[in-house]
Structure 1
Amino acid sequence: MTYSYVSHLQCPVCQTQYDTEHIHQLCACGSPLLVEYNLEQLKQQVKREDIQQRNPDLWRYHELLPVSSSEHVVTLGEGMTPLLHLPTLGERYGINHLYMKDESLVPSGSFKARGAAVGVSKALELGVEEFAMPTNGNAGAAWALYAARAGIRATIVMPQDAPQITRSEVALAGASLFLVDGLISDAGKMVAEKVKQDGVYDASTLKEPYRIEGKKTMGLEIAEQLGWQMPDVILYPTGGGVGLIGIHKALKELQQLGWISGTLPRLVAVQAEGCAPIVKAWEKRQERSEFWEQSTTIAFGINVPKALGDFLVLRALYETDGVGIAISDAELLEVQREVASLEGSFVCPEGAATFAAARKLAADGWIKPDETVVVLNTGAGIKYPDTVQTEAPLLQIGDSIVGR
């Protein structure tokens, strides 16, 4: 059985093709490259029933992943996270079929492990010995940990106010960690200089084609977990937007394979009011976003003032009749507490923003009561210990809590 049906890389702008046996970063025209597969051949040789007998991790979909040989797979057991029905919260929001795809349970505590697993595995297959990348925190942590497992050197640059836990993960993994007094865009400039001068592999978001393939497995899993049926709506917290692009790509590939049918789900790009370039572009029906000046939000993972793949995110919204929506920090903090108190899940700030968006869209009637709605929680709330402040009375030994 063929391990991967990967065919080639293709530019979504000028359609130029590249092979997958050599290192390629961006297209000559400056666009990110996307991975294409021999779907007709795969359709003849693999059935979706074959997938269901395999190990419960993202590598169960190896035919639809770009790593050509299993010997290059670098794994920590990532994938096949729960798709949880949330009846109590759904009743409050007026959504009868509300689900959460909970990415807090993957290695490193965030969905970034998916992109790291596939991206590092393909880098290993390509003979990469060292890479560099900018990050808001979780991606750098995941890539550093997977690089350690693969024996690849990593240089990670992140804003100095990135979450302390992610900084510690990078340092403990043995990567070279640098902090910059600025945003992820400033970190990106430093990485670009290192790539140019030192000739290392650029693992920045969408500057290598393979991270998106790991992220797309969220879409593959959602389809399988819903019995190969598509939901009506998928809400995704959008910074760089790789996960949203990947989910859209996954569902279109499943359509071509004939494994799912019907209308693609309406995709929702959720951003913070303090950093909403995609939302602003969507409202104006633009093809690309503009740089968001002085961006700020406590949902650190979506504080991305300008995404390289913004045009792909916007295409996905337009093609699926989706929307872009911005949430305030106050709203997401309120909803973070609401999700924990009603459903027992401590979601990350970015995940809380998607719940707040679902609540708003249901109240506005854009989401109908009987539609099936999937909200992405992209990480564990415990990775952001300073986001939520709590108070509790201090008792002395001998005090009683009876009747309190």
Structure 2
Amino acid sequence: MYSYMTHLQCPKCKQSYEKGDIHHLCECGSPLLVQYDLERVKQEWTKDSLAEEPLSLWRYHPLLPVEQAKDVVTFGEGMTPLLPMHQYGATIGLPQLFMKDEGLLPTGSFKARGAAVGVSMAKALGIKELAMPTNGNAGAAWAQYGARAGLRAHVVMPEDAPEITRKEVAISGGHLTLIDGLISDAGKVVAEAIRTYGYYDASTLKEPYRIEGKKTMGLEICEQLKWTLPDVILYPTGGGVGLIGIYKAIQELRTIGWVKGEMPRLVAVQAEGCAPIVDAFHEGRTESTFFENAHTAAFGINVPKAIGDFLVLEAIYETNGCAIALSDEDILHEQQVVAQLEGAFLCPEGAATFAAAKQLVQTGWLKEDDVVICLNTGMGVKYPESVQVESPVISKNGSI
């Protein structure tokens, strides 16, 4: 079988929904999660068969929702490097520090994973036009994958979103709307357009398939570590779909018996200027509250209230993880340090995970013998305005 998907289920009220139909949120308002026949997967899917698959996220198709290979929309995304960060790790006391570099994906960010699976499912469901709010990279990815699938994307983003992401939407034929506000304000504009024109709602977690693409980060990490589990995974958290997906992926791998041992401790990394998950975690709450006046240089995690916040917090609590917020100053400083020590030009969101690792070592939460993975979620070159460096020396005679 190409997919072992059985149905969708609400994680709150446990109501089930049939596959093959268009679904968004549960009647109770919760996001829906895709379920699989994991007993059959355990019996019929083997690591030997996986080894014969192409090196893309679609190698995990038994644990993905697309049921027909003909519906797959792809640019070859997946299997990003898991790189040892020896020099940086040595400076902060983490000799087993790794980076999962999602900046090498098509469209330059991890959003390509969610777009690949989400757009493929939209195509399979017969969707022609979709709409979504975004801080930039998700809209760029969905517009480009949508173009490849023959779908029209209507994208609404804050006017101060990175310029390159706006151009990616436009050049791909997407309909772009810029607003003076946050992604939460963009969401209101999208909701009205959906009510008026009947577009397919591709907002974060309002369609259930983006998370299935994002969870392949977790599947890849486990395969790249030869089916062993790391101790800690740090993830830059805005909407939190990737963290939820990684948690789901490892749970599924444990159920089918491909990995054993304790779950990695999951760390939600946010910016001090927008830290609703961190506030909720420190107060022991299961849901966050809207973060007023949100602002951060790590634009991709500037999400004042995530619809899946309860799932993010559950993943943190269940894995004995934590949530931590960094100042923009610390984030941008660490972006430069990592580049100088490792040659890796991270996006600000990715740099935040390294700044978090550094602080967690200083507090003793991370230990020297921990195997730690930082997620870099995008190319640094997509955020040139985040880099402040000294002016170059201009030579008039060709000498240095």
TM beyond 0.5: yes
CA 1:398–1:265: 2 relative to 1, 3 Å: same
- Local SS of the residue matching 1:171: helix
Q: 1:365, CA displacement in angstroms?
A: 1.1
Q: 1:398, CA displacement in angstroms?
A: 1.6
Please show how residues 40-59 of structure 1 align to structure 2 within 5 Å: 40-59=39-58
Please show how residues 13-92 of structure 1 align to structure 2 within 5 Å: 13-92=12-91
Q: 1:114, CA displacement in angstroms?
A: 0.1
Please show how residues 3-18 of structure 1 align to structure 2 within 5 Å: 3-18=2-17
- Partners of 1:390 and 1:364 lie apart in 2 by 30
Paired-residue identity, %: 63
Please show how residues 3-402 of structure 1 align to structure 2 within 5 Å: 3-398=2-397, 400-401=399-400
- Local SS of the residue matching 2:83: strand
- Partners of 1:31 and 1:393 lie apart in 2 by 52
The RMSD of aligned alpha carbons is 0.8
- Partners of 1:73 and 1:395 lie apart in 2 by 50
Q: Deviations over 1:54-84 (max 9, x none)?
A: 1110000000000000000000010000000
Moved runs in structure 1, 4+ residues, more than 6 A?
A: none
Q: 1:50, CA displacement in angstroms?
A: 1.6
Name the aligned partner's letter for residue 143 of structure 1. Answer: W
CA 1:231–1:396: 2 relative to 1, 3 Å: closer
Name the aligned partner's letter for residue 163 of structure 2. Answer: Q
- Local SS of the residue matching 1:230: coil
- Partners of 2:388 and 2:76 lie apart in 1 by 33
Name the aligned partner's letter for residue 161 of structure 2. Answer: A
- Local SS of the residue matching 1:398: coil
Query: So what's the TM-score if we normalise by structure 2?
Result: 0.99
Aligned length: 400
CA 1:109–1:393: 2 relative to 1, 3 Å: closer
Q: Deviations over 1:37-56 (max 9, x none)?
A: 00001111111232122111
- Partners of 2:48 and 2:360 lie apart in 1 by 35
- Local SS of the residue matching 1:369: coil
Query: So what's the TM-score if we normalise by structure 1?
Result: 0.98
- Partners of 1:48 and 1:12 lie apart in 2 by 29
- Partners of 2:232 and 2:394 lie apart in 1 by 47
- Partners of 1:315 and 1:138 lie apart in 2 by 26
- Partners of 2:12 and 2:137 lie apart in 1 by 29
- Local SS of the residue matching 2:385: coil
- Partners of 2:71 and 2:36 lie apart in 1 by 19
Q: 1:108, CA displacement in angstroms?
A: 0.4
Name the aligned partner's letter for residue 311 of structure 2. Answer: L
- Partners of 2:248 and 2:90 lie apart in 1 by 31
Name the aligned partner's letter for residue 112 of structure 1. Answer: K
CA 1:5–1:394: 2 relative to 1, 3 Å: same
Q: Deviations over 1:321-359 (max 9, x none)?
A: 000000000001110001100011000000000000001
- Local SS of the residue matching 2:142: helix
Name the aligned partner's letter for residue 303 of structure 1. Answer: N
Q: 1:138, CA displacement in angstroms?
A: 0.2
- Local SS of the residue matching 1:386: helix
- Partners of 2:364 and 2:316 lie apart in 1 by 18
- Local SS of the residue matching 1:249: helix
CA 1:10–1:92: 2 relative to 1, 3 Å: same
Q: 1:120, CA displacement in angstroms?
A: 0.1
CA 1:199–1:370: 2 relative to 1, 3 Å: same
- Partners of 2:399 and 2:241 lie apart in 1 by 52
- Partners of 2:60 and 2:395 lie apart in 1 by 56
